[in-house]
């Protein structure tokens, strides 16, 4: 039976075989990712619930575990309202445009050594291009809605994303200088050698800037001025209902997962085990060995940080957000790039 299948598979022409294998790989990324996104919404409500000394959703299914599915079903059966004087085509396109980049960027993330969908040498450029693309969805949504709140939210979102993208770009230049490669798998390999060999230590200011900019890029608290439900009601997606709204919601959570995965990859050694060089633990199979479980664990930790920060900090004022982005982060990153240049030329520590 198995042999027959195998020989049958070999008879399939190459032009069909390669794409179908790739399609399977894509599904192996996208479907678990959608699961993560769905249960991230549940985790968020539970974590914030416990942070505020209440329970959070616990009725649907065992301990509320079916809540995301119930939410998805509910949103699916809601009417999608198309406002009368909205630009219809752009109004429908915007949620798709903000959702697609959040998925596409996962093509170059190394899940384990060499386990990435597209092993391209321009990995960071690709990630940077796609994360910048997400803001188009937000601006188009605000513009197409033809509503004052949506428009205000979109303008704020655009200026905010633009400011923090610069800080993010500068932080990535620091990683590039340290690793000397644009390929994400090579960047992880360059960090080999245990917890203190990862880039978070020599690039500590850049790591902080990168993660905080990630919060601002995904419009999470304390930087959610683009949504600001207590002043501009929901910002850019105020006119969206049903699945249209759900798409923006999914895009936001997929972006959170993406930023967490990227932070783990750039600064915390991706799939590397932190126990390299520790005498006994190093040789324990799962603990000392590199692999997907370390990547997943690190990403989960940063995702938890997103929720934790949301439960802890009050919202920034808009002028404070812009001040932090332009007057603190950009000078800080430029100074640290000079420091990293010195590190590289002197071959400082185990990192360079």
Nearer to another protein, 293 or 323 (CB): 323
280 contacts 246 by C-beta, under 8 angstroms: no
Of the candidate spans 157-165, 191-199, 221-229, 307-315, the one that interacts with another protein by CB under 8 A turns out to be: 157-165
Nearer to another protein, 47 or 259 (CB): 259
The answer to whether residue 119 forms part of the interface with another protein (CB under 8 A) is: yes
Binding mask 159-178 for another protein (x = CB under 8 A): x--xx-xx--xx--x--xx-
Residue from 109, 158, 136, 143 nearest 264 by CA: 109
Chain-centroid distance of CA 310 in Å reads: 16
All residues at 6 or more sequence positions from 266 whose CB lies less than 8 Å from its CB, including other chains:
172, 175, 187, 199, 207, 210
The rounded distance, in Å, linking the Cα atoms of 272 and 284 is 14
Binding mask 56-95 for another protein (x = CB under 8 A): -------------------xxxxxxxxxxx------x--x
Backbone φ/ψ region at 197: left (φ over 0), alpha (ψ -120 to 50), beta: alpha
Binding mask 245-274 for another protein (x = CB under 8 A): -xx--x------------------------
Q: How far is the CB of 154 from another protein (least distance, A)?
A: 10
The answer to whether residue 151 forms part of the interface with another protein (CB under 8 A) is: yes
Q: How far is the CB of 266 from another protein (least distance, A)?
A: 13
Nearer to another protein, 43 or 107 (CB): 107
The answer to whether residue 124 forms part of the interface with another protein (CB under 8 A) is: yes
Quick one: the chain helix, strand, coil %, rounded to 5? 70, 0, 30
């Amino acid at each position: 039976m198995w042999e027959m299948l195998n020989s049958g598979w070999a008879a399939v022409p190459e032009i069909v075989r390669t794409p179908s294998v790739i399609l399977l790989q894509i599904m192996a990324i996208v479907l678990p990712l959608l699961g993560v996104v769905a249960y991230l919404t549940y985790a968020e409500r539970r974590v914030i619930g416990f942070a505020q000394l209440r329970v959070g959703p616990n009725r649907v299914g065992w301990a509320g575990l079916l809540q995301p599915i119930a939410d998805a079903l509910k949103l699916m059966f809601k009417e999608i309202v198309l406002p009368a004087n909205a630009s219809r085509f752009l109004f429908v396109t915007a949620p798709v445009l903000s959702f697609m980049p959040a998925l596409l960027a996962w093509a170059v993330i190394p899940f384990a050594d060499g386990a990435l969908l597209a092993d391209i040498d321009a990995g960071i450029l690709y990630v940077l291009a796609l994360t910048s693309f997400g803001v188009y969805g937000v601006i188009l949504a605000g513009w197409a809605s033809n509503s004052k709140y949506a428009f205000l939210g979109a303008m704020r979102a655009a200026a905010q994303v633009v400011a923090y993208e610069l800080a993010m770009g500068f932080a990535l230049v620091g990683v590039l200088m340290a690793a000397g490669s644009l390929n994400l798998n090579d960047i992880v390999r360059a960090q080999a050698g245990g917890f203190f060999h990862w880039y978070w230590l020599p690039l500590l200011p850049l790591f902080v800037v990168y993660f905080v900019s990630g919060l601002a890029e995904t419009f999470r608290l304390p930087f959610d001025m683009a949504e600001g439900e207590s002043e501009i009601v929901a910002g850019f997606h105020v006119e969206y209902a049903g699945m249209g709204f759900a798409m923006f919601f999914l895009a936001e959570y997929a972006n959170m997962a993406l930023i967490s995965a990227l932070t783990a990859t750039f600064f915390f050694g991706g799939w590397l085990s932190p126990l390299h060089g520790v005498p006994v633990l190093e040789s324990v199979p799962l603990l000392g060995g590199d692999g997907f479980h370390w990547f997943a664990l690190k990403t989960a930790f940063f995702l938890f940080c997103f929720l934790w920060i949301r439960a802890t900090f009050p919202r920034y004022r808009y002028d404070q957000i812009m001040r932090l982005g332009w007057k603190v982060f950009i000078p800080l990153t430029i100074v640290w790039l000079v420091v990293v240049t010195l590190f590289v030329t002197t071959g400082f520590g185990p990192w360079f």
